[in-house]
A and B are shown apart, each in its own frame.
Chain A
Amino acid sequence: MGETEVPGITILEEEQARTGPRRMLLNIGPQHPSTHGVLRLAVELDGEIIVKCHPEIGFLHTGIEKEFEVKLYQQSVTLTDRVDYLAPLSNNLGYCLAVEKLLGLEIPPQAQWMRVMLTELTRLNSHLVWLGTHALDIGAMTVFLYCFRERENILRIFEMFSGQRMMTSYFRIGGLALEPPRGWHRRIKTFIDDFPSKVDEYEDLLTNNRIWMGRTKGIGYVPLEDMLDLGVTGPMLRAAGLETDARKDEPYTSYEKFDFEVPTRTEGDVYARYLVRLEEMRQSARIVTQAMDGMPTGPWKVADEHVVLPDREKMKTQMEALIYHFKIVTEGFRVPAGEVYQIVESPRGELGFYVVADGTAKPWRVHMRTPSFGNLQATPRMVEGILIADMIASIGSMDFVLGDTDR
Chain B
Amino acid sequence: MLPDNLRDRAAAAAVEAFDSGAVTGGKFDRGELTLEIAPARIVSVCGFLKHDQGFVRLSTVTAVDRYPSEPRFEVVYHLHSIEHNERIRLKCRISGENPEMDSVTSVWRSADWYEREVFDLFGIRFAGHPDLRRIMLPEDWEGHPLRKDYPITGSRV
Which A residues are closer than 8 A to B by beta carbons? Answer: 57-58, 61, 63, 65-67, 69-70, 101-102, 228-231, 242, 244, 249-250, 338-341, 343, 350, 352, 354, 356, 364-365, 367, 369, 373-374, 376-377, 406-407
List 30 interface pairs A-B (beta carbons < 8 Å), by A numbering. A57-B136, A58-B136, A58-B137, A58-B138, A65-B146, A66-B145, A66-B146, A69-B152, A101-B30, A229-B56, A229-B110, A230-B109, A231-B108, A231-B114, A244-B82, A338-B30, A340-B30, A341-B87, A352-B60, A354-B60, A354-B62, A354-B78, A364-B64, A367-B76, A369-B60, A369-B62, A374-B60, A377-B110, A377-B113, A406-B136
Complex interface bits, B142-157 against A, C-beta within 8 A gives 1, otherwise 0: 0001100010100000
Given A338-B30, A352-B60, A377-B109, 5 further pairs, Cβ under 8 A: A65-B121, A228-B56, A229-B109, A244-B82, A341-B89
CB contacts (< 8 Å) of A67 on chain B: these are: 152
Does A341 contact B32, Cβ atoms closer than 8 Å?
yes
Does B30 contact A354, Cβ atoms closer than 8 Å?
no
What's the A-B contact tally at a CB cutoff of 8 Å? Answer: 87
Does A352 contact B59, Cβ atoms closer than 8 Å?
yes
Does B32 contact A340, Cβ atoms closer than 8 Å?
yes
User: Do most interface residues of chain A lie in helix, strand or loop, or is the interface mixed?
Assistant: mixed
Most buried by B among A229, A340, A407: A229
User: Which of chain B's residues 69-105 have a Cβ closer than 8 Å to chain A?
Assistant: 76, 78, 82, 85, 87, 89
The reply on B41 being an interface residue by CB < 8 A is no
9 smallest CB-CB distances across A and B, nearest first, come from A231-B110, A369-B60, A58-B136, A61-B136, A367-B62, A365-B64, A229-B109, A377-B113, A230-B110
Chain B: interface size category: 35 or more
**Closest chain B CB from A9 CB (angstroms):** 23
CB contacts (< 8 Å) of A376 on chain B: these are: 113
When the two chains form the complex, which single residue of B56, B60, B134 contacts A367, counting CB atoms closer than 8 Å? B60
The residue in chain B whose Cβ has the minimal distance to the Cβ of A369 is B60
Does B78 contact A341, Cβ atoms closer than 8 Å?
yes
Does B152 contact A70, Cβ atoms closer than 8 Å?
yes
CB contacts (< 8 Å) of A57 on chain B: these are: 135-136
